[in-house]
Chain A
Amino acid sequence: MDIFNGLLLGFSTATTFGNFLYCFLGVLLGTAVGVLPGLGPIATISMLLPFTFGLPVDTALIMLAGIFYGSQYGGSTTAILMNLPGEASSVVTTLDGHEMAKQGKAGRALAAAAIGSFFAGTVGTLFIAVSAPLLASLALTFGPAEYFSLIVLGLITSMVLASGSLLTAFGMALFGVMLGMIGTDVNSGAARFTFGTPNLLDGLDFVVVATGVFGLGDVIANLENEKSRSAGLAQVSSLFPTREDWKRMAAPILRGTGIGVLLGVLPGAGVLLASFSAYALEKKVSRHSAEFGKGAIEGVAAPEAANNAAAQTCFIPMLTLGLPGTATMALMIGALVVQGVQPGPEILTQQPALFWGLVVSMWLGNLMLLFLNLPLVGVWAKLISVPYHYLFPMISVFVAIGVYSINNSVFDVYMMAVFGVLGYFFKKVGAEPAPLILAMILGPMAEEYLRRALLISHGDASVFFTSPLSLGTLIVAALLLLSIVSPRFRKVREEGLQEAD
């Protein structure tokens, strides 16, 4: 199927009344939860997951995607108005966005973010439409060795990008792989690490772990600084960018989009790297570089464009290879598996309506965000200022219902409580949980591909170096690891990640 026919099919899928409605609902709910301080996309998706149960697969996926970019958009609103980033990738937005808000230009900052995001979303969606079919047909030629190397690259990238030391991130990834191995071994049927309980035979549900670590763990951690929590909410002024603003943000949006589209595809890098790189680039090339950090509109438009472009294109490895590039995409895979869909190269040929419907609905969702969020910004501002002691009991209720509803299993609820405690513990010892979450999904895949690759080669590990693609991927991974040892890159990484803390 060529792109044109694909897009036509996508339009007819995405614009059925039900799908359109759920796309809208997803975007709306995602934004509403995403603007709440301290709730990033992972917590938002896992809280809203039960809303997608009982829906047909394509509708559910469209709604989940809507929730995802809605929550990202909501996170930027909170970052600009309140200086509270919901997740690491909106940290750069706070740098200039909140400065602008303090100068009474909050509306223009929000508009810059929205316009940048919409443009980037459009380009990102087109990029998916063009490149995903190509990549999927290429992926059909991938053997287990190539898949294994790609997984290794994804894990290493996520470790390099985690804040804190590399050794800590490595340990977190290993712990994640261990968690992923709990349950019945697909190959031999042996029950591994189940501690004799039948509840663990199917493995630990990924959504349970993510919800515990990110949802409940954050609630516990946020209750700590209750006394010192100050809610300085900026007033929203005129939403219309001036002619000067348009001129200043056009080129940064273009550059940010380019960076985001490319980096979003890289396994493990995702949205975070995109927004940081876009900001760093603008700071270098801008004629107004002295204004950066003091409320430069370029410093809002570029990272927001990059952020949203990457948020679209990070669907590419997930949809075409079945490999999640980020923790959020890992959660999306978890949600799809609940729906009975296994993402991979076959999804395009076997369920074209699902794929193209998603692509088109992404663009529609971005359009909705543009027209929905700017007029509704007053509502979002009200939501942000809800005091935390009203908010967190509701969050606890939603995550508990969400987790229970996956399998109607009380055991899952208890496990979520355990992982809430662990999530708090990781925060206390300064270990970022993102590599753990990604490794939990990628670990068992890595084992399976390693096993197959070595079975074919009769135990000869050189297969990973004889296939050019696998070798290339491993070289990129090794370069990434080496770069972190080099003092120059180390300094950049520490500075970048420091801003994220």
Chain B
Amino acid sequence: MRIGQDSILGLFFAVTGCIALWISVQYPFGTAGRMGPGYFPVIISSLLVLTGIGVLVRSIAASGDAFPEINWKALIMVPAAVVVFGLAIEPLGFLPAVLLLLVLSAATSIKFKLDWKAAVGALVFAGLCTVLFIQLIGLPMPVLGTWLQ
């Protein structure tokens, strides 16, 4: 069997549905007149499992579109840069976190070069963001975090 879009998506629905169903059956189900916290989740997750199986069956029956190539670099780098922002914002503060996110995500591009122009540009942008979000809009975030004060 060729791995197509549908086989992956069907598997995703079915597995998510199974996990959700397994969790929901542990909540009190109740009756139709008095629905417990488990009533609706059990119905929805069962439907999700069935839909997943349906999509899987379709993927075997018909030759759908093949799974396209994945850009692993962007898929890992961009979310990782966001996670770094999350890790940095409290200990390091707003300005360093923005700078890190900017440079790390920019590094994903094939056109990225770290020269002095890019560095100055990043610094200026991070500075502008700080003025805009903290001085003008007044978001309650420290410019420099606890580690740098």
Contacts and interface: CB of A to CB of B under 8 A. Distances in A.
Contacts of B141: 404-405, 408
A283 interface: no
A88 B133 CA distance: 31
Q: Select the residue from B39, B78, B80, B110 with max chain A CB neighbours within 10 A.
A: B78
Contacts of A178: 16, 20, 41, 44-45, 48
A192 interface: yes
Q: Select the residue from A50, A174, A178, A461 with max chain B CB neighbours within 10 A.
A: A174
Interface string B16-48: 110010011001100111111101110011011
A306 interface: no
Interface in A394-427: 394, 396-397, 400-401, 404-405, 408, 410, 413-414, 416-418, 420-421, 424-425
Given A396-B105, A429-B5, A188 B83 contact: no
Contact of B44 (A181, A187, A397, A408): A181
Given A193-B20, A393-B102, A396-B101, A430 B27 contact: no
A251 B113 CA distance: 53
B71 A223 contact: yes
Interface string A162-194: 000101101100110110010001011010110
B65 A430 contact: yes
Interface in B94-115: 98, 101-103, 105-106, 108-112
A392 interface: yes
A185 B67 contact: no
Given A174-B51, A192-B27, A192-B41, A51 B85 contact: no
A461 B55 CA distance: 29
Contacts of A53: 137, 139
Closest 8 CB pairs of A and B: A459-B33, A459-B32, A413-B86, A417-B79, A223-B74, A389-B109, A393-B106, A190-B37
A167 B53 CA distance: 11
A397 B67 contact: no
Contact of B40 (A165, A404, A431, A447): A447
Contacts, number: 189
17 contacts: A165-B58, A171-B13, A175-B13, A178-B45, A192-B27, A193-B41, A219-B105, A224-B71, A389-B111, A392-B109, A393-B102, A396-B78, A397-B85, A397-B105, A417-B80, A417-B82, A450-B40
A134 interface: no
A368 interface: no
Interface in B116-145: 125, 129, 133, 137-141
A220 B75 contact: yes
Nearest to B48: A174
A458 interface: yes
A424 B72 CA distance: 11
B78 A220 contact: yes
Interface in A414-457: 414, 416-418, 420-421, 424-425, 428-431, 443, 447, 450-451, 454-455, 457
Interface of A: 50-51, 53-54, 165, 167-168, 170-171, 174-175, 177-178, 181, 185, 187-188, 190, 192-193, 216, 219-220, 223-224, 226-227, 387-389, 392-394, 396-397, 400-401, 404-405, 408, 410, 413-414, 416-418, 420-421, 424-425, 428-431, 443, 447, 450-451, 454-455, 457-461
B35 A454 contact: yes
A417 to B, nearest CB: 4
B148 interface: no
Given A167-B55, A396-B82, A401-B129, A220 B71 contact: yes
B41 A410 contact: no
A35 B45 CA distance: 39
A165 B102 CA distance: 38
B79 A171 contact: no
Contacts of B86: 400, 404, 410, 413-414, 417
Contacts of A177: 44
A219 B78 CA distance: 8
B37 A187 contact: yes
A443 B139 CA distance: 32
A171 B35 contact: no
